[in-house]
Structure 1
Amino acid sequence: MPDRPTIVLFTRDLRVSDHPALAAAARSGRPVVCLFVLDRAIRDGAARNRLSYLGDALRDLRGGLRRLGGDLVVRSGDTVTETLRLAAATGADRVNLSADVSAFAARRAARLREAGEEQRIGVCTYPGVTVVPPGAVAPADGDHYRVFTPYWRAWESVPWRVPVPAPARLDPLPGVEPGAVPRRLADSGAGPLSPRRQRGGEARARRRMDAWLAAACADYERVHDELAADATSRLSADLRFGCVSPLELAAAARGHPACASFVRQLAWRDFHHQVCAAFPDLPRRDYRRRDAAWRSDESGFAAWREGRTGLPVVDAGMRQLLDEGFMHNRARLLTAAFLTRRLRVHWKRGGDHFHAALTDGDIADNYGNWQWVGGTGNDTRPNRSFNLLRQSRRFDPDGAYIRRFVPELADQAAPVVHAPWQAERPVPGYPAPLLDEGG
């Protein structure tokens, strides 16, 4: 009797390199059926920028699998239902997938295991979404680290697994209809479709990674906070969709002494993922209760969302988000601080808006960072204050970042670029600040 096939269920691990679930299936010698399900529960109403990236990534993944002799089967519907339907049609008795941390991913895996057990289908999860799997390091007195610094020390000291190469070949199962990747996947989503959004797929992601490691990473420590320098890796969306292996990236960067600060950022990503694994309500509920006095300010929230607050560094960040589906990390901190610390609007409203627009929108990272800024998360100084004007002058001293995204200020001198309300005359077309940041 021929070997029964293994289904490799792709979720947000859309690559063939360093994919432990795929590599294990290929090593077994069984036929391999690769599957991605466009799950309506997360597709309909998802950020259009992410759906656009997803379409690119699925087409690229299909090409990569075909070059190995396999293919990508694409289905629409409920992930568990469609996976079991494919297993019944192909005779598969095993499903491999990457472990993930969100509440949705945990429910999906639990449902798949329960239904698989009833039908005698084994379900096996593998690492691949983070560098160090959530739970691989934990304090003596708990299930996860609540503060970054001790987590960072443990993260640095624990042995990492070795990245696995892409399979040399896949043994496909003939006769399976692959299905189509929708050409206009973003049409089913919500939120802006940014004109300068990042394109997706493993091939593009690897080119970005290689270029970053070859040159720009060496300057990361010196210039990564400079807003106009745009000196971040731009790999966040590639990591979010798994088009780049976080482990492969971290291992390569670890070999560059000048990239230590960048490796630390990958540890922050893992930190938020282990928090989310232990506290799946991270996008919805305060991680630490602070009894903050939040305000309802619809006009202020709308001005913030549209980049019309009158505080240029905040407006530049919000307009970059609309234009690119991306925002510089320092600008994310400042825009979040303005909404939560100055307007006192709840962190979840800001987090939801970011999640609806960011191509790299990741449950753990996005909401973990919003709670950190809002004072309800993992910051050990929940009452931390931000002088936004001082931050603007420090990290955009010439005003180049602001001029790039706020054309009303393009011909203004540096002092006015940072504080238009201090100009001798009002700047035409630019609003008065919602809250004067002063000098």
Structure 2
Amino acid sequence: MMTVAIALFTADLRTHDSPVLRGALDAADQVVPLFVLDEGIRAAGFRTPNRGAFLAGCLADLDAALRERGGRLVIRSGDLVREVCRVAEETGAGQVHVAGDVSAFAQRREERLRAALAGMRRELCVHADAAVVIPPGAITPADKGHSAVFTPFFRKWSAAGARRPLGAPRKVSVPDIDSEPPPEAVGLAGGRPSSGLPPGGETEARRRLKAWLGGPVDRYEDLHDDLAADATSRLSPYLHFGCLSPIEVVHRARQRGGAGAEAFVRQLAWRDFNRQLLADRPDAARDDYRCRQDRWRPDGEDAEAWRAGRTGYPLVDAAMRQLVTEGWMHNRGRLITASFLAKTLYVDWRVGARHFLDLLVDGDVANNQLNWQWVAGTGAATRPNVVLNPLLQARRFDPKGDYVRRWVPELREVEGSAVHRPWLLPGDLRRRLDYPDPIVDLDEALARFRTGRAA
């Protein structure tokens, strides 16, 4: 009698280094590669146009990869627990393999699924190493459930040693079972995605990783903060959807070697750092990790100007417009725009985190929320009251103004660094520009923030 196992794909949409798929293949003669279009996906933010469109591309690519190996992706819609149990009943599957996750939503889903399968005398097998390099809880201080400071965490993380990447399977045998149409046919994405959205899927992810490690990574240490150079990997959407295994990325980067590769690996460690924070403190997705007794200003006209990229501070506005166009933002831009909202405008970090989740293709609960808290000073930052001055940031990271001119067309005729202070331009030129005056005085804003946090 043929045995069957289910490989339940969530945010691990790949065939290479897939503990979920490999575990199911090792456990049974046949495997059901399953993805459920759960209503919970909507609640988790995946049905925003950018992530919905990217996810549709990922699923189509995963289906194609499985078909090359004799299999296919089985798609069902509805409550995830109900649909997994239904597939298990239809195929006689004895095990369900799934990637571990740290969000409160994923934890509740896992508990429900485990209980439902136990009632059917089926087993749930959770692979904690499918989405991270080092699983949460593997490296912790002696007196805590997690590390609250990144530098000592990174030292332990680097020394811990990850497992070796798994190869992609050569053959996947799938039992006879019905599947729904591909997600494009059921309108997964909804709405209109950003015009500059990259293609989703493992095939494109691996192409980009190969190109990145083929040379550009060598410049990463020197250029990763240079906004105009755009010299980062842009792999974050593919890591978020699991089109790339972080273990394989780290392994291949270390094989490449050099200062640029090591600086790149350090950034990947931040993903694990934020996940272990959220694993121990799930409430940090919505509540202050460290409460500062802030008296936040309301989500009003200033916040709307920030969302629209019309603050009057060109570097802030350029980054916010890049987000709208590409569904992505340079990491230095994320720091600058987050500081501007949470500290200069003194608006609740949750307002900004929600906007980012609505637009970012790589919008991830752990990274997005914990990075916003880090910048706002309510998270794990060791210097919680640092305010990033957008003019000083412009001088350091866009000294010639090329990044601003790329994303703020109203200012393209302004030459050099003068683009960062358009209110100082000669009257005739300034009047021709359809660009707003600054919505806030930086010195007054700094005083307001310090007073508000000290109150």
Q: Same fold (TM over 0.5)?
A: yes
- What secondary structure sits across from 1:282 in the alignment? helix
Q: Residues 188, 253 of structure 1: CA spacing in aligned structure 2 closer, same or farther, 3 A cutoff? A: closer
Partner residue of 2:357? Answer: 355
TM-score by length of 1: 0.96
Partner residue of 1:254? Answer: 254
Structure 2 counterpart of 1:17, which letter? Answer: H
- What secondary structure sits across from 1:123 in the alignment? strand
- What secondary structure sits across from 2:369 in the alignment? helix
Partner residue of 1:24? Answer: 23
Partner residue of 1:34? Answer: 33
Deviation, 1:414, is 2.1
Partner residue of 2:423? Answer: 421
Partner residue of 1:290? Answer: 292
Q: 1:171 aligns with which of 166, 170, 173?
A: 173
Deviation, 1:128, is 1.1
Moved more, 263-272 or 422-431: 422-431
Q: 1:369 aligns with which of 371, 376, 382?
A: 371
Aligned residues of 2:17 and 2:248 also touching (Cα < 8 A): yes
Q: For each residue in 1:37-60, what CA deviation from the matched residue of structure 2 results, as whole angstroms up to 9, or x when unmatched?
A: 011122366321001000000000
Q: For each residue in 1:274-302, what CA deviation from the matched residue of structure 2 results, as whole angstroms up to 9, or x when unmatched?
A: 11111112221001111112101410011
Partner residue of 2:236? Answer: 236
Q: Residues 297, 8 of structure 1: CA spacing in aligned structure 2 closer, same or farther, 3 A cutoff? A: closer
Partner residue of 2:86? Answer: 85
Partner residue of 2:387? Answer: 385
Structure 2 counterpart of 1:386, which letter? Answer: L
Q: 1:406 aligns with which of 405, 408, 413?
A: 408
Aligned pairs (5 A) from 1:317-332: 317-332=319-334
- 1:114 aligns to 2:115 (yes or no): yes
Partner residue of 1:100? Answer: 101
Aligned residues of 1:17 and 1:164 also touching (Cα < 8 A): yes
Structure 2 counterpart of 1:68, which letter? Answer: R
| Partner Cα distance (2:296, 2:352) in 1 | 12
RMSD value, Cα: 1.4
Q: Residues 265, 194 of structure 1: CA spacing in aligned structure 2 closer, same or farther, 3 A cutoff? A: same
Deviation, 1:155, is 0.2
| Partner Cα distance (1:403, 1:353) in 2 | 24
Aligned residues of 2:50 and 2:189 also touching (Cα < 8 A): no
Deviation, 1:189, is 4.5
Aligned pairs (5 A) from 1:139-154: 139-154=141-156
Q: For each residue in 1:295-344, what CA deviation from the matched residue of structure 2 results, as whole angstroms up to 9, or x when unmatched?
A: 01410011000000000000000000000000000000000010011110
- What secondary structure sits across from 1:183 in the alignment? helix
Aligned residues of 2:37 and 2:80 also touching (Cα < 8 A): yes
List gaps (5 residues or longer) in structure 1: none
- What secondary structure sits across from 2:282 in the alignment? coil
| Partner Cα distance (2:415, 2:295) in 1 | 38
Aligned residues of 2:324 and 2:359 also touching (Cα < 8 A): yes
Partner residue of 1:205? Answer: 205
Aligned residues of 1:30 and 1:171 also touching (Cα < 8 A): yes
Structure 1 counterpart of 2:15, which letter? Answer: V
Deviation, 1:199, is 1.1
Aligned residues of 1:224 and 1:231 also touching (Cα < 8 A): yes
Partner residue of 1:431? Answer: 436
Aligned pairs (5 A) from 1:120-199: 120-126=121-127, 127-173=129-175, 175-183=176-184, 189=190, 193-199=193-199
- What secondary structure sits across from 1:379 in the alignment? coil
Partner residue of 2:60? Answer: 59
Q: Residues 345, 189 of structure 1: CA spacing in aligned structure 2 closer, same or farther, 3 A cutoff? A: farther
Aligned residues of 1:43 and 1:51 also touching (Cα < 8 A): no
- What secondary structure sits across from 1:37 in the alignment? strand
| Partner Cα distance (1:241, 1:69) in 2 | 23
Partner residue of 1:225? Answer: 225
Deviation, 1:169, is 1.1
| Partner Cα distance (1:383, 1:186) in 2 | 44
Aligned residues of 2:289 and 2:373 also touching (Cα < 8 A): yes
| Partner Cα distance (2:76, 2:365) in 1 | 24
- What secondary structure sits across from 1:75 in the alignment? strand
| Partner Cα distance (1:271, 1:435) in 2 | 34
Structure 1 counterpart of 2:229, which letter? Answer: A
Deviation, 1:187, is 5.9
Aligned residues of 1:71 and 1:178 also touching (Cα < 8 A): no
Structure 1 counterpart of 2:194, which letter? Answer: S
Q: For each residue in 1:218-241, what CA deviation from the matched residue of structure 2 results, as whole angstroms up to 9, or x when unmatched?
A: 100010100000111010000000
| Partner Cα distance (2:42, 2:6) in 1 | 22
Q: Residues 350, 185 of structure 1: CA spacing in aligned structure 2 closer, same or farther, 3 A cutoff? A: farther
Moved more, 68-77 or 237-246: 68-77
| Partner Cα distance (2:15, 2:169) in 1 | 8
Aligned residues of 1:389 and 1:437 also touching (Cα < 8 A): no
- What secondary structure sits across from 2:333 in the alignment? helix
| Partner Cα distance (1:417, 1:247) in 2 | 42
| Partner Cα distance (2:11, 2:299) in 1 | 36
Structure 2 counterpart of 1:312, which letter? Answer: P
| Partner Cα distance (2:144, 2:63) in 1 | 42
Deviation, 1:181, is 1.6
Aligned residues of 2:399 and 2:417 also touching (Cα < 8 A): no
Q: What's the % identity of the aligned pairs?
A: 49
Structure 2 counterpart of 1:31, which letter? Answer: Q
Deviation, 1:135, is 1.1
| Partner Cα distance (1:10, 1:132) in 2 | 20
| Partner Cα distance (2:187, 2:425) in 1 | 43
- What secondary structure sits across from 1:32 in the alignment? strand
Aligned residues of 2:149 and 2:381 also touching (Cα < 8 A): yes
Partner residue of 1:3? Answer: 2
> How many residues get paired?
435
Aligned residues of 2:284 and 2:370 also touching (Cα < 8 A): yes
Aligned residues of 2:341 and 2:352 also touching (Cα < 8 A): yes
Deviation, 1:136, is 1.2
Q: Residues 420, 187 of structure 1: CA spacing in aligned structure 2 closer, same or farther, 3 A cutoff? A: farther
